[in-house]
Chain A
Amino acid sequence: DQQVKQNSPSLSVQEGRISILNCDYTNSMFDYFLWYKKYPAEGPTFLISISSIKDKNEDGRFTVFLNKSAKHLSLHIVPSQPGDSAVYFCAASEVDYKLTFGKGTLLTVNP
């Protein structure tokens, strides 16, 4: 039962270019969507979120886009930096206490 899907297990980009990480969901009751970043041997770190009533949220180099009709969201990182290399998790919430995570995408930014 994969309510949140990240279909790309990995992504490799050049430093300075755009990284686009994608996420699809199936549960139309999800009200909030979040992105977390995870380095090895650390816990996930909250990055950015978006409410279902919006279609875009921007925070510095990070922008999240939400397409409700397609049940799709994406995280754009511009410009990508080597320090952005990590696993990125898409997560969703139904306005309750729990998050439903995707399996994650390993982003590698090459110098």
Chain B
Amino acid sequence: EPEVTQTPSHQVTQMGQEVILRCVPISNHLYFYWYRQILGQKVEFLVSFYNNEISEKSEIFDDQFSVERPDGSNFTLKIRSTKLEDSAMYFCASSARGLANYGYTFGSGTRLTVV
């Protein structure tokens, strides 16, 4: 069964450093998403991406965050200057149809620890 692949599975970074989280969505999917889950809290929407541009973003997704699809297969989330409160599990997802009610396929996540 097709999978969404995320790398690395765990990343530790120092506060203030830039970090790039990588995702390979399912190959025929056109819509891409990032969510995060702070330990013990709910899964929160960060951003959706379609046709090489952001289609929707949450208030969490401030100027410190950016997304990119640098080639035909990767989808990345960059945090420019990490803060302690950015420590969370980051999930990438993709879907063939854009609306969230159709459901997405999530990756296994990258655990980001900011020290």
Contacts and interface: CB of A to CB of B under 8 A. Distances in A.
Contact of B103 (A2, A4, A34, A51): A34
Contacts of B55: 97
Interface string A61-102: 000000000000000000000000000010101011111111
Contacts of B109: 42-43
| Chain A interface category by residue count | 20 to 34
Interface string B1-45: 000100000000000000000000000000101010000011111
B100 A32 contact: yes
A11 B45 CA distance: 26
B105 interface: yes
| Chain B interface category by residue count | 20 to 34
Contact of B42 (A45, A98, A102): A102
A86 to B, nearest CB: 13
A34 B99 CA distance: 12
A19 interface: no
Given A49-B103, A95-B101, A101 B56 contact: no
Nearest to A101: B43
B45 A44 contact: no
Given A97-B33, A98-B48, A89 B43 contact: yes
A10 to B, nearest CB: 13
A41 interface: yes
A97 B98 CA distance: 6
Interface of A: 2, 4, 31-32, 34, 36, 41-46, 49, 51, 89, 91, 93, 95-104
